[in-house]
Amino acid sequence: MSTLVFSFSLFAFVASITPGPTNVLALSNGSRFGTLATLPFVIGAAFGTSVILLLTTSGLAELIAGYPLLSRMLAWLGALWLSWMAWKLFHAPDIDHQARNGLARAGWHQGALMQLVNPKTWMMALTVSGLFAPGDGAALAHNLLLALIFFTVTVPCIAAWAWLGEGSGRLMKTEARQRRLNQLLALLLGASVWIALLS
């Protein structure tokens, strides 16, 4: 059991800390609203990913594997939706304009729901279904443990990206710098989506 916890925690750390759509959006929200204000998005994203992980390890992975055309179509729809989000971020107004017009930060439900269309989340969850399959018996307890470990490891990893965003936001005092940061993050978001999809 301790070997499983250690090895899966390491896997979860690498999967959560590496760049991807969720981390780029956490960075963006952190730069605009601060780390504490971004925590609901962080918790929602970790929760959504853990639920998908629980579902895939409990049999959804086998169902998806049986319909490769469906899984490919869902991956493309997710990539297109996240690309649209990147386009919106690329053209986002500066922070002062957002505050004046009451533009809201991403909340927990956006963090959770975006995992449904995040190619990186699905690839990770399907990988876990193959690599960390339960042995004989106690499959539900095993899958719940994996989901709990993933949630516990993921929250500080995504929060670290929000914190980095907050630090970079302090450096971006002018409108031009804020716009350039948004554009850079939008390009990173788009690149992370299409790299995950095409790899």
The predicted pLDDT at position 119 comes to: 79
The pLDDT profile of the chain, 199 residues, written as one tens digit per residue, is 678 888 889 989 988 988 788 988 898 889 888 899 999 999 999 999 999 999 988 887 777 767 778 767 777 776 777 787 778 778 776 554 444 344 457 788 889 998 988 878 888 888 888 788 776 656 888 899 999 999 999 999 999 999 988 887 777 666 777 777 778 777 877 787 777 667 6
* Domain extent for 49: 19-198
The predicted pLDDT at position 173 comes to: 63
- Asked, for residue 1, whether it belongs to a domain, the answer is no
For 135-164, the pLDDT digits (tens) are 665 688 889 999 999 999 999 999 999 998
- Asked, for residue 69, whether it belongs to a domain, the answer is yes
Asked if residues 150 and 49 have their Cβ atoms less than 8 Å apart, the reply is yes
The predicted pLDDT at position 135 comes to: 64
The predicted pLDDT at position 112 comes to: 92
**Run of H or E including 4:** helix 2-17
The predicted pLDDT at position 104 comes to: 54
Cα dihedral across residues 63, 66, 70, 76: positive or negative: positive
For 53-80, the pLDDT digits (tens) are 999 888 877 777 677 787 677 777 767 7
SS3 annotation, 66-122: CCHHHHHHHHHHHHHHHHHHHHHHHCCCCHHHHHHCCCCCCCHHHHHHHHHHCHHHH
- Asked, for residue 151, whether it belongs to a domain, the answer is yes
The predicted pLDDT at position 96 comes to: 47
- Asked, for residue 11, whether it belongs to a domain, the answer is no
- Asked, for residue 113, whether it belongs to a domain, the answer is yes
Task: Report the number of distinct structural domains present in the chain.
Answer: 1
| Helix, strand or coil, per DSSP, at residue 133 | coil
The predicted pLDDT at position 137 comes to: 58
- Asked, for residue 167, whether it belongs to a domain, the answer is yes
- Asked, for residue 181, whether it belongs to a domain, the answer is yes
- Asked, for residue 189, whether it belongs to a domain, the answer is yes
